Amino acid sequence: MTGTPTGAESPGERDCDDAGLDRTSAAPDRDEREQVREALAAAARQSGFGLVTPGERPTAHALWAAVGGVRGLLESLLPGFLFLIVFTITGEVAPSVLIPAAVAVLFVVVRAVTRSPILPAVVGLVGIALSAGLALITGRAEENFVLGFVINAVWLVALLVSLVARRPLVGVIAGLLTGDHDWRGDPAKRAVLTVTTWLWVGMFALRLGVQVPLYMSSQAAALAATKLIMGVPLYAALLWVTWLMVRAVYARRAA
């Protein structure tokens, strides 16, 4: 029998080399997946839902933090409240949208001076400025609320897509927070996380169902009032219910 020529690889050596290459190429893929998963988990922890890990008992302090505390409430509610007051008194578009915009600028300045996280105030300012611009360009106070409709619609579609894909968004977030990537295999968890996702669908659908008809009928003051009521208060109430439902199923499974 003739041996393998010098410098040539045997079939066995080639198979070993190929296997080694496969393992080497697979390792970066796993690392990239882990990095993406860690980034998504970090983003989930920064959300209001992430302030209470599934299975833990929610507290009033956590809920207060989820709405941003005193500063967060002021930044969320005061611009809309000022719009309602000024528009009710004057009936004029310009002061009704420019005064809240000026207050939003003040919020950014205060955060910058106090060296607090500035991004929430900047995001709020951008949203208020865009809304004010639409109202000023069209001369219709109702246009001040169009951006809010878009945001609610985007969330509604994203939640519905997650349900159609059988990966309810609340479950995805809970899995990222706990590292429980097999929650879909647990019927109790899957059921609770699906129901809580439907509750959030209901909230966004309710906002649109109530506010869009007011927009269509040019009732800017009523629209501003309902937006205040269906904003932070409704969000906080639903967040608390979500925490309790998710905690119940995760605590029972951990026991």
Q: How far apart are CA 121 and CA 111, in angstroms?
A: 8
The predicted structure's pLDDT at residue 175 = 84
> Could you tell me the sign of the dihedral formed by the alpha carbons of 215, 219, 221, 227, in that order?
negative
221-249: pLDDT as tens digits: 999 999 999 999 999 999 999 988 888 88
Q: How far apart are CA 171 and CA 165, in angstroms?
A: 12
CB 211 within 8 A of CB 225: no
Token couple for 202: 């209901």
Whole-model pTM: value is 0.80
* Mean per-residue pLDDT, 132-159: 94
Q: How far apart are CA 40 and CA 176, in angstroms?
A: 7
**Of 147, 103, 105, 134, the residue nearest 122 (C-alpha):** 105
